[in-house]
């Protein structure tokens, strides 16, 4: 009887095979993806898998793609004995991670201030160049008598002797400058990418003023012959640390190039744009701004779709000050960014301890997905993970979304590393192109880089590593 019943079911299913199989496959795929997403959000943890000892204290590290598709590391390295600070390049870090032999490295920047940020100058920004350049921003550093500046550093070249660095910032403007970061945008619509930068002047605690400026690219002839200079143009006062530039649509159907800037010393978050018909930022009278919030001591800032609704959001970190706790906050970009309210969501409040940041060190936030190799399995958007380095508190935090619902902004905070002293500004990237994210943490007092990976191999299954406890590292 059971066999007859089963046979009848098979006949019924066969008559509707296409529709049934389609629904069945969709349901299985949906259930599998839901389980995979739950596993990703709740079970995926990074593990410690390597440590690299250095000759000095690393205060920041940045992963940068090389010309041959490999990943190099840029490391700000400080020698506490000689009081020297410089920028170290570690070539093809994946090769060292695989073989653990001698690391290939060289110092590419000395006596140019205390490094704050570093990035690669893309090839299309310097056409026909046979030299690969990195850009670096720095802070004034009295022990070496060096001023804060913006410099383009030659990294890879086809010459017997290395080409000299290109100094972009005005050398005549001396006096305790702190350059935070840069971005490349054609600000005057002349076809040449200009440099937008944020900077402050003065000693920590007694900053004289902060400003957002852009440096006009003098053109092809200057890049190669160093004739001419990068002339500075004002944008606005206030933003002094991190900023991001993006194009935001307006209800009218047009759009604006908008600079979202963090004001650390004046405790404000800004949106700055130009109403010039051609968006020529040289027309200073057309530049407008609004204060998004004055919540606290804004430090780092990123743009990402945090709640996976298909729209970019602004995510910031703030510093612990007085009764204010260090926070990670998200602002939804409204349909009319000029007039509408920017809705604020606090992901973590008080759980991330970010004390007063030192020169160019922690308090940085990074947005990432831990497993990259399965990104093509489903076209559906997923909420990202967030990683925060806590600077002087010595911890690194990973924030994991509690729900995949777009109206749920709850994140859980987990500490993955605790150092005996400060940690610097970390980097996260797929260093060896295996489809899993790697985290590189600069441990200042221990003179080393520690590497975590989301590759779920069985070796070294350490999720939380405490450097202060014997046997934990």
> What's the maximum distance between 2 C-alpha atoms anywhere in the chain?
96
> What backbone torsions phi and psi does residue 354 show, to the nearest 5 degrees?
-115, 95
Helices (H), 382-440: none
Q: What is the per-residue pLDDT for 279?
A: 97
Helices (H), 238-295: none
Query: Which DSSP state fits 162?
Result: P
> Helix or strand or coil: residue 284?
helix
pLDDT along the chain (473 residues), means of 10: 43 49 54 47 77 95 90 95 94 93 90 94 80 92 89 83 82 76 96 94 78 90 63 93 96 96 91 97 98 88 95 88 70 97 89 47 79 58 87 85 94 91 93 94 96 78 74 57
Q: What is the per-residue pLDDT for 350?
A: 65
Query: Which DSSP state fits 465?
Result: E
Q: Model pTM?
A: 0.86
Q: What is the per-residue pLDDT for 120?
A: 96
Distances (CA, A) of 308 to 172, 311, 381, 402: 47, 7, 6, 13
Among the listed residues 417, 414, 413, 415, the one whose alpha carbon sits nearest the alpha carbon of residue 450: 417
Among the listed residues 253, 304, 296, 254, the one whose alpha carbon sits nearest the alpha carbon of residue 279: 254
Tokens, residue 403 = 């729900």
> What backbone torsions phi and psi does residue 373 show, to the nearest 5 degrees?
-70, -20
Cα pseudo-dihedral 417, 330, 373, 389, rounded to 10 = -20
Q: CA-CA distance, 402 to 410, in Å (whole number)?
A: 6
Residues 328, 315 contacting (CB under 8 angstroms): yes
Q: What is the per-residue pLDDT for 171?
A: 59
Tokens, residue 216 = 């006009």
Distances (CA, A) of 159 to 154, 163, 421: 11, 8, 42
Residues 386, 367 contacting (CB under 8 angstroms): yes
Tell me the sheet residues that pair with 318: 298
Residues 198, 210 contacting (CB under 8 angstroms): yes
Distance separating the N- and C-terminal Cα atoms of the chain: 65
Tokens, residue 353 = 């301890």
Tokens, residue 144 = 């070496």
């Amino acid at each position: 009887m059971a066999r007859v019943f089963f046979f009848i079911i098979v006949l019924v299913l066969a008559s509707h095979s296409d529709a049934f199989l389609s629904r069945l496959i969709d349901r299985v795929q949906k259930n599998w993806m839901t389980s995979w997403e739950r596993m990703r959000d709740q079970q995926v943890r990074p593990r410690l898998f390597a440590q690299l000892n250095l000759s000095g204290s690393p205060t920041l590290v940045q992963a940068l793609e090389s010309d041959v598709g490999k990943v190099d590391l840029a490391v700000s390295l400080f020698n506490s004995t000689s009081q020297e600070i410089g920028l170290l390049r570690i070539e093809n870090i994946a090769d060292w991670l695989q073989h653990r032999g001698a690391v290939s490295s060289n110092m590419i920047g000395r006596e140019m201030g205390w490094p704050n940020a570093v990035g690669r100058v893309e090839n299309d920004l310097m056409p026909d160049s046979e030299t690969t350049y990195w850009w670096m921003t720095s802070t004034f550093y009295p022990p070496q008598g060096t001023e804060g500046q913006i410099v383009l550093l030659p990294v890879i070249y086809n010459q017997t002797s290395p080409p000299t660095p290109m100094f972009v910032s005005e050398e005549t403007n001396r006096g305790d400058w702190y350059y935070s970061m840069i971005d490349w945008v054609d600000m005057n619509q002349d076809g040449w990418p200009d440099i937008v930068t944020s900077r402050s002047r003065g000693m920590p605690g007694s900053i004289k003023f902060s400003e957002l400026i852009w440096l006009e690219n003098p053109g092809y002839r200057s890049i190669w012959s160093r004739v001419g200079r990068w002339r500075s143009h004002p944008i606005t006062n206030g933003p002094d640390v991190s900023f991001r530039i993006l194009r935001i649509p307006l209800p009218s159907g047009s759009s604006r190039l908008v600079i979202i800037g963090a004001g650390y010393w004046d405790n404000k978050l800004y949106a700055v744009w130009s109403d010039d018909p051609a968006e020529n930022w040289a027309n200073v009278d057309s530049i407008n701004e609004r204060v998004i919030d004055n919540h606290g001591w804004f430090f780092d800032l990123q743009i990402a779709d945090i709640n996976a609704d298909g729209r970019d959001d602004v995510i910031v970190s703030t510093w612990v000050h007085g009764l204010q706790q260090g926070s990670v906050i998200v602002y939804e970009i409204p349909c009319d960014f000029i007039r509408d309210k920017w809705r604020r969501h606090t992901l973590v409040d008080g759980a991330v301890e970010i004390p007063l940041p030192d020169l160019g060190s922690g308090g940085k936030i990074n947005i990432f997905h831990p497993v990259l190799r399965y990104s093509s399995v489903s076209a559906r958007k997923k909420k990202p993970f967030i990683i925060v380095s806590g600077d002087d508190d010595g911890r690194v935090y990973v924030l994991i979304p509690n729900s995949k619902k777009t109206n749920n902004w709850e994140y859980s905070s987990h500490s993955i590393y605790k150092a005996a002293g400060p940690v610097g500004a970390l980097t996260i990237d797929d260093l060896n192109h295996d489809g899993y994210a790697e985290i590189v943490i600069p441990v200042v007092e221990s003179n080393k880089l520690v590497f975590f990976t989301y590759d779920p191999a069985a070796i070294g299954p350490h999720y939380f590593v405490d450097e202060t406890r014997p046997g934990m590292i």
